[in-house]
Amino acid sequence: MIETLERDAAEVDDDLSAAGLLALARSRKAAEDRAAADLLDVAARWADLHPPESIHSAASFAVPGCEHEEPIAGPGTPLVAEFCIAELGAVLGISTTAAKRLVGHALELRHRLPRLWTGVQSGAVPAWRARSVAETTIHSSPPLTVEAAAFVDSQVAAAAGRIGPAQLDRLVAEAIKRYDLADADPADDPEDGWQHVDPRHATLHGEDVHYAGTMRFEAELDIADALDLDRALAHGAATMKALGSEASLDVRRSAALGDLARTQTALDLFTQSGRAARATDEGGRVAREAVHEGGRVAREAVHEGGRVAREERAGVSRPHLPPEGGRVAREERAGVSRPHLPHSREVVLHAHFNVGDTVLDATGRLEEGQRLILLDHVKDWCTDTHNKVTIRPVIDLNAELSTPAYEPTTRIREALILRNKTCVFPWCTRSARRCDLDHVIPHDAGGPTSTSNLAPLCRTHHRLKTHSSWHYETTAPGTYEWTSPHGHRFRRDPTGTQPIGDDPPDVPRPRRR
């Protein structure tokens, strides 16, 4: 193998040999690091050009929503005029939020972490490593004082360019802890933290979605609550198995947890005095259910055979027990009828599918979280008669919808959301469902309330358009051309953002108060 590589290297031009390619890769990486360091310097200088004093207004009183000064780094760093961040982000091809983070990191490094800043500018520390330290010191809880940040800087700067990312994170955390400003960690020292830090939590890891359509839910509960939940899941899993479910125990327990979330009544309830409910079987005997030691949870025994009809003959009524999602037909075959139950699912999801026979048409887009969803999942939800499913009529996105009123109708709003999907400011990715609808031509200037003159803008960019010299126009349905205060132009359409034209001539700096 080695001989083959050497022969292939000898057959190519010297400039493309293995040694030449490695040297080229090293030089390109050095150029990339140098460019990243220069970008941080540019970001800091851009903030210098837009201090709070650069915010000027002809009005002598504050107008709600107008530009304000904003702290974007830790204590001790200069404030920045809010609206300047958007133009820097647009020119760089990143969102306003990402641009704010870039400027914040630059100011944090230059003013509170000067040793790291010097290392970045000299090439000793890659910019991305210094930015990871700045991100931690900016958002540390409790906030780091100037002295605390300087201590972290002194401990980290010398090693930041020579260690890996994980080790660097640990070094920063250790430096903060040694300065005695970090929150107590109960997992690290229970005798130190357990009395004043409550470890209980219930966390949905919504960013981690499996292709099977599942998400991970993690919780730490009170001991009594954990035991109660375990028995509830065991009861639900046993009931599903009795009804004919062939799924594994883990799958049935997971489905039982979903039933608890939808109805909160998966267990038989007791009277307030804590006495167990009684049920009479076909021989007239009384079956007593055992009560948990805390008097909160009943432990139900599943009859051999598990047939619902036999339970009904025994006088056991469970009108509160919800059917397992997507298995209503199996319950109906078992003789279960629960038409009186309310709709169990009240989660509002917006799924979009194409109509056709291709494989891709079986996969749609779920607006919540911008995730993919299988058509089989939606069919499974619709199979359950206790799931509330609303099918909205198809909206022709090419049709012109209008209203004489200032406020758009629900149909107009839905059409704009489906057409644009996100805020239409350059590079912004905020969902259109969480945006305002802005009149491109103001309504008081004669602009109609119609799909051709409305656009979704998130609150930040709506304020930016209203109270700054940013402006835009509609060139086609769903296509907008923006112009920044310094003359940079961008085209935004449903496919994304694209810069237009060359760099504009220099614009004089704004007058200061």
Name the strand (E) or helix (H) holding 440.
none
Q: Between 474 and 340, where is the model more confident?
A: 474
In a domain, 108, yes or no: yes
When pLDDT is cut at 50, 70 and 90, the band that residue 93 belongs to is very high
Residue that is last in its domain, among 181, 203, 221: 181
In a domain, 94, yes or no: yes
In a domain, 232, yes or no: no
Tens digit of each residue's pLDDT (9 = 90 or more) over 36-77? 999 999 999 999 999 988 776 444 445 666 778 888 999 999
pLDDT of residue 391: 62
In a domain, 316, yes or no: no
Residue with tokens 């994170």: 169
Number of structural domains in the chain: 2
Q: Between 311 and 274, where is the model more confident?
A: 311
When pLDDT is cut at 50, 70 and 90, the band that residue 214 belongs to is confident
Question: SS3 for 215?
Answer: strand
pLDDT of residue 277: 38
pLDDT of residue 299: 36
Residue that is last in its domain, among 166, 181, 196: 181
Residue 89 has pLDDT above 90, yes or no: yes
The residue range of the domain holding 78 is: 26-181
Q: Annotate 78-108 with b (16+ C-beta within 10 A) or e (fewer).
A: bbbbbbbbbbbbbbeebbbeebbbbbbbbbb
Percent of the chain whose pLDDT exceeds 90: 42
pLDDT of residue 490: 95
As a residue count, the chain comes to 513
Q: Which of 52-61, 173-182, 320-329, 464-473 has the highest mean pLDDT?
A: 464-473
Mean pLDDT of 259-264: 72
Residue 288 has pLDDT above 50, yes or no: no
In a domain, 313, yes or no: no
Mean pLDDT of 148-159: 93
Rounded to whole angstroms, the Cα distance separating 468 from 471 reads 8
| Closest to 373 in 3D by CA, of 205, 207, 209, 208 | 209
DSSP state letter for 422: B
Residue with tokens 């030089």: 27
Rounded to whole angstroms, the Cα distance separating 153 from 112 reads 8
When pLDDT is cut at 50, 70 and 90, the band that residue 153 belongs to is very high
- Mean pLDDT estimate for the chain: 76
Q: Between 505 and 35, where is the model more confident?
A: 35
In a domain, 96, yes or no: yes
When pLDDT is cut at 50, 70 and 90, the band that residue 129 belongs to is very high
In a domain, 414, yes or no: yes
When pLDDT is cut at 50, 70 and 90, the band that residue 505 belongs to is low
When pLDDT is cut at 50, 70 and 90, the band that residue 387 belongs to is low
Tens digit of each residue's pLDDT (9 = 90 or more) over 388-436? 666 666 677 788 899 999 999 999 999 999 899 899 999 999 989 899 9
In a domain, 408, yes or no: yes
Residue with tokens 């040297």: 23
Residue that is last in its domain, among 150, 181, 212: 181
